[in-house]
Amino acid sequence: DDGYRLWLKYDQLPDARLRKAWQAQAKGITVENGASPTLQTAAHELQLGLQGLLGRPVSVGASGGKGRIRLQVAADPTLGKEGYKISEQNGGLVVTGPTDAAVLYGCFALLRHVQTGQMPPTAALTSQPRVQYRMLNHWDNPNGTVERGYAGSSIWKWLELPEVIDPRYKDYARANASIGINGIVVNNVNASARYLTPEYLRKVAAVADVMRPYGIRVYLSVMWAAPKLIGGLSTSDPLDPKVRQWWKARTDEIYKTIPDFGGFLVKANSEGEPGPQDYGRNHADGANMLAESLGQHDGIVMWRAFVYKANSKGDRFKEAYEEFKPLDGKFAPKVLVQVKNGPIDFQSREPFHPLFGAMPRTPLVLEVQLTQEYLGFATHLVYLGPLIKECLESDTYSQGKGSTVAKVIDGTLEKHSISGIAGVANIGSDRNWTGHPVGQANWYAFGRLAWDHTLKSDAVAEEWTKMTLTREPQAVNTIAQVLNQSRNIYVRYTTPLGLHHIMGQSIHYGPEPWLEKSARPDWTSVYYHKADSIGLGFDRTAKGSNALSLYSPQVRQLWGNPATCPPDYLLWFHHVPWGQRLSTGNTLWDELTTRYYSGADSVLWMQQQWEQVKPKVDPEQHTDIASRLRIQHREALWWRDACVLYFQTYAKRPIPPSLTPPTRPLAEIKELVDIYQLR
Ligand code: BDP
């Protein structure tokens, strides 16, 4: 098994009783209400899946009859626009939904039900998405490279499009539709203006044609300076009438080429990208101009809040908040502001971004990263379900207890009519799509949680495992446990207790806590960990940068006191003396070293668990993951030794006697980093 089929594996159900029960219910598929491309797709997907799972032909047609599954588009106010219902009517199953796409989602849900070994439902199964725009963001470039992509090159073959349609595009669409993703931004946020040229729009349109039957709309990241770069104008000032006119004409052109175009994603005035501030305007001026250019078209603007000024003397943690909070209420109705889960940048654990709950008048999109930029690329096994859930469940207290990030972004807290969530894709041209086979679980979990953020991440892990790796209950259990622990394990051997941003410069791989100089101070490690002879950690209380003041009083109170601050966030907010006793009973130094050691040891535990399931998993997949786990252990030791020895130069304390001190000196490890970074 080379992993290409992802979780859409429809191998025959081993349980004959189950097969029989389903066979009686699924003799054929009847499509009512004509045959739009999406309904046809739904019927075809259901047919494909059922034939595989049940091991016999399933016909598709317009006629009825006993034992056939009926697909039916029917108004149902309880289902929203995209919700589905699978129920029994007159002895047969009916998949209904108010739109074609809803029926498609219902078909995939039905397949999931069968594939995870459940009997035909006795009560109706209904579900509707809690978030409206469920987006994958590709950071893919015209030349086929992928920014922070670790699974080969881009799946989009721009040079060959629009004539050559790689069959992968359709398989990609199927996978996304099966988990409810309904929008894709095809290009990098560090955008090339090229995508707005007629030549490229034709290419993007060809991709959109493949996505459309699967209910997926295509979006573009835009380069702010496009009017200058490709429009021949002398400015990109959003308030300049010529610039406005240029965008309006461009947008109309886009909709002529792609009638269901979704809209724009914008990174502006961030990390050197141009933006409205270059002309003395603000983010709202820029976003509103683009929203205006969309006119009557059914499109949106997602404006990113990932900004931090060059040469800032402050704390990077606060910068997006300081720039965006004052703009709350100033954005046009079609604008959503897209905010990363945490205030710095996709670290292995971050407190939730203080903008959540702080911009009640603006719909906020939660952006999470599936590509593991700071989480071991495609080498380390890290299941991100728990990370995503941790953010969604964080309580902002913005309207009292229970004002979770989930309720902020699904629009229920502030009663917004539009809502969105975005995952930065981890997909590439590798045969198995994601490099690490478990990367597929992150794509999967994102989609499932985007649809319904109340799902439990461990239940999603189990579901994915059953659909992808094995159906044997004991093995499913073992693998799901590994998945569920994996993120905490990664945090322990890299950045325990709230350490952050101490990784290798630029590449963002491996440890480099000693990094003191970079193009900007907030790209170094020492900026964040602040190790000295007294202790470790970034004081963000009122005595320090006071970033804590950006949160609601309840959050501030909890995190602002080192005694009540959860150990996982401790060094995010406090400079803690090495000898300070923590709630765990250990001193900071002992706790830190113990976590580094137990994290690295836990990778051995993961290896043992993986060995146990060997007879139950495809051999090719098993070997691949086992090999990657060996790298992971070697690199966990690298992180452990690097960090323990480096911080020891400040703490000047012995490694606790229960742990075996590293055998290699710090100097040797520093050289290792140089080799990795090819410096
Ligand atoms: C950082 C990445 C950088 C991205 C940037 C972003 O290092 O490559 O361009 O985020 O999100 O994580 O814009």
Q: What string of DSSP letters covers 643-673?
A: HHHHHHHHH--PPPTTSPPPSS-HHHHHHHH
> Do 498 and 391 fall into the same domain?
no
* pLDDT for position 672: 84
What is the CATH classification number for the domain harbouring 603?
3.90.1330.10
pLDDT at residue 464 greater than cutoff 60:
yes
Whether ligand 1 lies within 6 angstroms of the CB of 390 is answered as: no
Domain membership flag for residue 546:
no
Please tell me if the CB atom of residue 147 comes closer than 6 angstroms to any atom of ligand 1: yes
Strands 420-424 and 364-369: parallel
Mean pLDDT for the chain? 97
Give a yes or no: residue 7 inside a domain. no
636 and 510 in a common domain = yes
User: Are residues 500 and 423 part of one domain?
Assistant: no
**What is the pTM assigned to this prediction?**
0.98
The reply to whether 378 and 251 lie within a common domain is yes
Mean pLDDT (whole number) for 10-37:
94
Q: Which H helix or E strand runs over 184?
A: strand 183-185
Please, which pLDDT band fits residue 143 given cuts at 50, 70 and 90?
very high
Say whether pLDDT at 679 is over 70. no
Q: Look at residue 559 and tell me if it is in a domain.
A: no
CB atoms under 10 Å from CB of 93, counted, come to 21
In a domain, 552, yes or no: no
Share of the chain above pLDDT 90, in %: 96
Looking at the predicted structure, is the pLDDT value of residue 673 above 60? yes
Average pLDDT of the segment spanning 1-28: 97
Residues 240 and 182 in one domain: yes
Whether pLDDT at 581 is above 70: yes
Query: Annotated catalytic, 462?
Result: no
From the alpha carbon of 139, which atom of ligand 1 is closest?
9
Provide mean pLDDT across the span 13-17: 96
Q: Are residues 389 and 414 in the same domain?
A: yes
Q: What confidence score (pLDDT) does residue 65 get?
A: 82
Helices (H), 432-587: 439-451, 457-468, 473-494, 526-529, 553-560, 570-573
In this prediction, residue 58 has a pLDDT band, given cuts at 50, 70 and 90, of: very high
Question: Does 548 fall in a domain?
Answer: no
**Considering Cα of 504, then 508, then 513, then 515, what sign does the dihedral take?**
positive
2 is a domain residue:
no
Residues 463, 507: one domain?
no
Among protein residues, the one with the nearest Cα to ligand 1's atom 1 is 345
Question: Do 462 and 365 fall within a single domain?
Answer: yes
Please give the pLDDT value at position 5: 98
Q: How many domains does the chain have?
A: 3
Residue whose CB lies within 8 A of the most ligand 1 atoms, among 221, 271, 375, for a mutation test: 271
pLDDT band for position 678 (50/70/90)? low
Q: Is the CB of 189 under 6 A from ligand 1?
A: yes
Tell me what pLDDT residue 354 has: 98
Judge if 356 and 445 occupy the same domain: yes
Annotation marks residue 414 as catalytic: no
CATH assignment of the domain containing 356: 3.20.20.80
Q: Which domain holds residue 297?
A: 133-468
- Are 453 and 521 found together in one domain? no
pLDDT of residue 280: 98
The predicted structure's pLDDT at residue 64: 78
Same domain, 84 and 137: no
Please report whether residue 191 resides in a domain: yes
Residue 398 bridge partners (DSSP): 400
Question: Per the residue annotation, which of 345, 350, 462, 641 is the catalytic one?
Answer: 345
Same domain, 435 and 510: no
In a domain, 314, yes or no: yes
Q: Closest Cα to residue 656, out of 587, 603, 575?
A: 587
- Checking if the pLDDT of 307 tops 70, the result is yes
pLDDT per residue as tens digits for the range 490-535: 999 999 999 999 999 999 999 999 999 999 999 999 999 999 999 9
Q: Helix (H, G, I), strand (E, B), or coil: what is residue 68?
A: strand
The finding on whether 267 has its CB within 6 A of some atom of ligand 1 is yes
Decide: 148 in ligand 1 pocket, CB within 6 A.
yes
Q: Is 171 a catalytic residue?
A: no
| Secondary element (H or E) of residue 73 | strand 68-73
